[in-house]
Chain A
Amino acid sequence: MRGVNLDLFDFDFDLTWAAFFLGPDETVYGRYGGRDATSPDSRMSLAGLHYAMTEALAAHRSKSEDGRSKIEGRGSKIDHNQDDFRSSTIDRYAAAQRRAADSCIHCHQVYDARREWLQTTGKWRLDEVWVHPLPENIGLTLNVDQGNRVQAVAKESAADRAGLRTGDRLQSVNGIAVASIADVQYGLQRAPAEGEIPLAWLREGRLIAARMNVSKGWRKTDISWRWSLRGLEPTPGVQGEDLSSEEKAKLGLNEKQLAFYQGAFLSISARQAGIRANDIILGVDNKQLDMTARQFQAFVRLNYKLGDRIIYNILREGRRLDLPLTLVARPPS
């Protein structure tokens, strides 16, 4: 990411693949790419890329005729810069300057650098982790092959209350013209933590506009897949592989319940707590947690603070143990 204009190329930096459709004057016609916790390519398809690209080309052709796009919101210049961080390249930030000059800076490290910068300037809030919300966060399931086509609307969701229905074709979200799920997520990314989000959609050739109400916490979703989350402290101090459904059943555990084998590598804090390799981690503080080992990594980061003392509930050779562990900062690498 060295040298990349973060103001222009403002995208979900945790993605493994992201694309922009740009005019020769660097006008953004659209975006493509996206994922969720289920897999890296769950929100992408060749047909979906083709669809979004066709819309981008239509905007380009339309614009090249008279210098302005005929498609509302598409191809118009956007003020991408929502905070001071993105007003430059990654190279100016301390996190980048600590790295060797010839070393790569991966996309997700932009989020690491941004978090560090926000922490340094006293602006960091945990809510900053809920980036690029999924359409499902407002109750929409979108068609992967036609990223702005509504496939389903969850009852009593924000989108439902705004009037969206299956088959509608979204035209804009929060002022951003949309032809892909990535466009929709970008529009949602710029939306407020609570309040109103303007939407427009086509139904049977008719353009409908509405303002959708979202309440506090609407951006929250499963972000355990995000690589940038690994830089957030505190780390749990334990990690490993989930037990299989059969293994859980043999132990009389619920199928969805957290249960993972502690791996061979033991952190200093885990060793100090007396945790051993192959211990089965069942939870913390006697809470039964329905989640995977990966989700547990996110759970601790999002619900505890450095210095917190937690009790790990463990199964070792058929015996239940409660081992206290203090969440400490990682040693500098």
Chain B
Amino acid sequence: MRKFLAVAILLMAAYLLPSAVVSADESSGPKPAWLTDYHGALQTARQTGKPLLVVFRCPH
């Protein structure tokens, strides 16, 4: 998957999640670190034990 496939992966910071979600409509709080390489993200998830939020976006 490449970035043009409009797939974004966010490693879900399990204990920081509520603030990460809120930051979508508030300027404060941690910025989500979106990744665009699925296999790389999966490898990181396995190393850290964190779950993934995988998002598919389409322009239509």
Contact B51 A24 (CB under 8 A): yes
Contact B58 A49 (CB under 8 A): no
User: Does residue A16 face the partner (Cβ distance < 8 Å to B)?
Assistant: yes
User: Does residue A107 face the partner (Cβ distance < 8 Å to B)?
Assistant: yes
Contact B54 A19 (CB under 8 A): yes
Question: Which residues does chain A contribute within 8 Å of B18, judged by CB atoms?
Answer: 50, 54
Contact B56 A60 (CB under 8 A): no
Interface of A is mostly: mixed
Give the complex CA separation of A57 and B16 in angstroms. 11
Contact with B along A6-31 (1 / 0, CB 8 A): 00010100011111111111100100
Shortest distance from the beta carbon of A56 to any chain B beta carbon, whole Å: 7
Give the complex CA separation of A24 and B38 in angstroms. 11
Partner of B54, one of A9, A57, A108: A9
**Interface size class, chain B:** 20 to 34
Give the complex CA separation of A23 and B12 in angstroms. 10
Partner of B42, one of A24, A107, A108: A24
Interface centre among B45, B51, B53, B55 (most CB of A within 10 A): B51
User: Does residue A270 face the partner (Cβ distance < 8 Å to B)?
Assistant: no
Shortest distance from the beta carbon of B58 to any chain A beta carbon, whole Å: 5
Contact B12 A21 (CB under 8 A): yes
- Knowing A1-B5, A19-B54, the reply to whether A24 touches B49 (Cβ < 8 A) is yes
Given contacts A23-B52, A29-B51, A57-B14, 17 further A-B contacts (CB under 8 A): A1-B5, A15-B56, A15-B58, A17-B55, A17-B56, A17-B57, A20-B53, A21-B51, A21-B52, A22-B45, A24-B45, A24-B51, A46-B21, A50-B18, A50-B21, A61-B14, A104-B4
Q: What are 9 A-B contacts with C-beta separation under 8 Å?
A: A2-B2, A9-B54, A11-B56, A16-B59, A19-B54, A24-B49, A24-B51, A106-B60, A227-B60
